[in-house]
Structure 1
């Protein structure tokens, strides 16, 4: 799915901006999309981070991964909820690979107030493919 151009007042704008910042590994641009008192969950209800400082801390190390990239496959918007289906490429402890992710964002006042992430099963890259 190609990145669509969104108006800054669109509900999906903060979700798109944070995805672009994630892919650029730009922590400041990434954090600009999140509310100061935001909450970050593993779906359905396991709180992983509360507040922008904790979310920043979670991502600083992840942004060091050389192959980090989130590919948007589909986006749905209903009211102030944005649901993205992404294929995320990253380096897992077992090696490089990809994983399907459903990201659910609650947008309040143009910022991500809450987010829930449902992770699929990591698919490790073929070691021969990774070497070429």
Structure 2
């Protein structure tokens, strides 16, 4: 396995594409039949078409940014703890997130997310 396709490098490429709001580069880190879950087993998206629809909405948020707090790697599993700035209905907020990625053959096969409660930093003015 080359460094380019190591699980940690694949997940970092995914995070970089997320912060750049680059749909194609982000999808390129996932297997075509990858699945995303809200941990432990609530299916959020199955395959590139569903993932694209879900992420395009997210990438439209002008303040979107994920800050990596900590990363742990064990074999082909990468666990990221992130602080994500979002444009929520209530205003600009932050959400803590734990992401569990399973990487095989240089692509993310599955991703499970644990969402913390949102913290509103700047309330939306009506």
Q: TM-score, normalised by structure 1?
A: 0.89
Distance in 2 of aligned mates of 1:93 and 1:69: 17
Query: Is 1:18 aligned with 2:14?
Result: yes
Query: Is 1:116 aligned with 2:91?
Result: no
Q: Compute the RMSD of aligned alpha carbons.
A: 1.4
Q: Which runs of 4+ in 1 moved over 6 A?
A: none
Partner residue, 2:80? 84
Partner residue, 1:3? none
User: After superposition, what is the alpha-carbon deviation per residue over 1:77-123, rounded to whole angstroms, capped at 9, x for unaligned?
Assistant: 01110000000001111111101000000001000000000000000
Distance in 2 of aligned mates of 1:123 and 1:74: 20
Distance in 2 of aligned mates of 1:28 and 1:126: 31
Distance in 2 of aligned mates of 1:118 and 1:13: 22
Q: TM-score, normalised by structure 2?
A: 0.93
Partner residue, 1:95? 91
Number of residues paired by the alignment?
123
Within 5 A, what are the aligned runs for 1:61-72? 61-72=57-68
Partner residue, 1:45? 41
Where does the alignment leave 5 or more consecutive residues of structure 1 unmatched? 1-6
